[in-house]
Amino acid sequence: MRWSSLFASQAAVSSALIATTLFTLSASAQDRTTEQGEAQITDPNQECTPYYYAPVSAALAANQFPPIWTIATILPNDTNAQAKYQSIQSQIPNIQPNGSPASASTGDFSSFTYPSSDPDCWWTFDACTTPKLAGLPPDLAGVPEPDTLGYGFDDGPNCSHNAFYDFLSQNNQKATMFYIGSNVMDWPLEAQRALADGHEICVHTWSHKYTTTLTNEEVFAEFYYTVRFLIEHTIKLVAGVTPTCWRPPYGDVDDRVRAIAHALGLRTIIWQYDSNDWREGFNNVTVADVDQNYEYLISRAQNGTYATGGTIMLTHELNNFTMSEAMKFYTQLKAAFKYLVPMGVATNQTQPYVETNYSLPSFDQYISGTTTVTGGVPVATAGSSSSTGSGSSSGKTNSTGAASRALYDSFGILAAGAAFVGFSVKLLA
């Protein structure tokens, strides 16, 4: 997918232009300064007209962030980031970036040679989700709870998402939103809506590149400015939370990238099925293909494939089509699976953020109808030992225990065929 051209128009909007737009729009009685006001706009064209949000504009103007939609690097005078980066050096394995810098945008690894033994557990190569580097937890690829779909969407916030989020609210359905830092900068009030609606927010990097192609510092900065800076200064500015989970764009992750994520307190979440909704219109992928992928998952859920452990499918908050597909198949998914829950709920991550004053329901709470536990002290549930952590990397969850590990290990291959369209990796004999 040509992300650069897709996003070019957005990235080109300067704050000066946004300010002009705001002035024009203020005549039209829409409140585009608060989450609630923004959530009430129903015309997609109006939703997607840029607005001015002072905290983000000020932070951008003060050069506190890398430019949006470009590969993040540590800003030259950002001593906090430099110190943090230095502090995790010993945790980063000596693995070289994959492919050439050009692969960061295209994912073309055709001139890259890589040993067939997959020494780095490179997902793009063979859908590996169990790290080979000691000390790293396995990726979450399926969910442990039977007949359960880990329900989530990549690439948001999309400017036109109100119809979709309204739909989710009407169905009292929560999901995990994997947000791109640059999109949050563009659409901060839309990011705020996710939290207000009780969804779970995870990180989907700063600029949506193939992360295994990036240098250590770039990988760090893609996380750091999304997690620490973005979250403490942007999502935190906007939403006030610091996520503890991330999903690699295109699934492109290996042990080097996992190690940097882990050092920053981020769990890696992947998937087992790709709806290919994001490819519709590219590489001959049609609406019928995407429908078929949804239907395939639904028929498997109906025939008992997930009777002992649930699964995750890759779906997107990318555009009108991907959100419309999610709505079109919602009722069927609900009927085929017993439960559709956010990833954090599926794994009893009752404290999904570093901040201790925001909680998700446990799986049992959620399926008994308590779908939101926002603010206040975390609600303790029997067996849910995870709500006492402070957000540091230890003691937070038991979802990486031996039982879960065995479960995750048995998954991970199904999505491979679809995911590898367009890739070819040379093997060292």
Ligand X SMILES: *[C@@H]1O[C@H](CO)[C@@H](O)[C@H](O)[C@H]1NC(C)=O
Q: Tell me the catalytic residues.
A: 154, 316
Closest CA to 98 of 279, 219, 262: 219
Closest CA to 352 of 298, 398, 391, 321: 391
* Cβ atoms of residues 240 and 355 within 8 Å: yes
What CA–CA distance (Å, rounded) separates 293 from 325? 11
Q: Interface with ligand X by CB under 6 A: which range of 3-11, 95-103, 111-119, 226-234?
A: 3-11
Query: Minimum distance between the CB of residue 39 and ligand X, rounded to whole angstroms?
Result: 14
What CA–CA distance (Å, rounded) separates 188 from 56? 8
| Closer residue to ligand X in complex, CB, 144/342 | 144
What CA–CA distance (Å, rounded) separates 233 from 240? 9
For 7, other C-beta atoms within 10 Å of its C-beta total 18
Q: Interface with ligand X by CB under 6 A: which range of 222-230, 250-258, 270-278, 401-409?
A: 401-409
- Tokens in use for 290? 């995407």
| Closer residue to ligand X in complex, CB, 98/319 | 319
Q: Interface with ligand X by CB under 6 A: which range of 255-263, 267-275, 286-294, 360-368?
A: 360-368
- Is 272 a binding residue for ligand X by CB under 6 A? The answer is no
- Is 160 a binding residue for ligand X by CB under 6 A? The answer is yes
* Cβ atoms of residues 156 and 323 within 8 Å: no
Q: Interface with ligand X by CB under 6 A: which range of 17-25, 115-123, 157-165, 253-261?
A: 157-165
Query: Minimum distance between the CB of residue 72 and ligand X, rounded to whole angstroms?
Result: 15
Residues between 310 and 339 with contacts to ligand X, criterion CB under 6 A: 318-320, 323-324, 327
| Closer residue to ligand X in complex, CB, 44/93 | 44
Length of the chain: 429
| Closer residue to ligand X in complex, CB, 272/348 | 348
Instruction: Find the residue with minimal CB distance to ligand X.
Output: 383
Residues between 38 and 77 with contacts to ligand X, criterion CB under 6 A: 44, 48, 62-63, 77
Identify the three-state secondary structure at position 42. Answer: coil
Which alpha helices (DSSP H) does 171-319 contain, by range? 181-186, 188-196, 216-224, 236-238, 255-263, 287-302
Residue of the chain from 216, 348, 350, 387 that contacts ligand X (CB under 6 A): 348
* Helices 188-196/162-170 angle, 10° precision: 0
Question: How far lies 182's CA from each of 58, 74, 134, 142, 282, in Å?
Answer: 15, 16, 32, 28, 23
Closest CA to 300 of 315, 311, 286: 311
Identify the three-state secondary structure at position 267. Answer: strand
- Is 27 a binding residue for ligand X by CB under 6 A? The answer is no
Identify the three-state secondary structure at position 334. Answer: helix
The site that binds ligand X (CB under 6 A) totals a number of residues, namely 49
| Closer residue to ligand X in complex, CB, 134/402 | 402
| Closer residue to ligand X in complex, CB, 95/169 | 169
Binding map of ligand X across residues 220-249, x = CB under 6 A, - = no contact: --------------------x---------
Chain positions contacting ligand X, by CB under 6 A:
6-7, 10, 44, 48, 62-63, 77-78, 144-145, 158-160, 163-164, 240, 283-284, 300, 303-305, 318-320, 323-324, 327, 347-348, 355, 357-358, 362-364, 374-375, 381-385, 398-399, 401-403
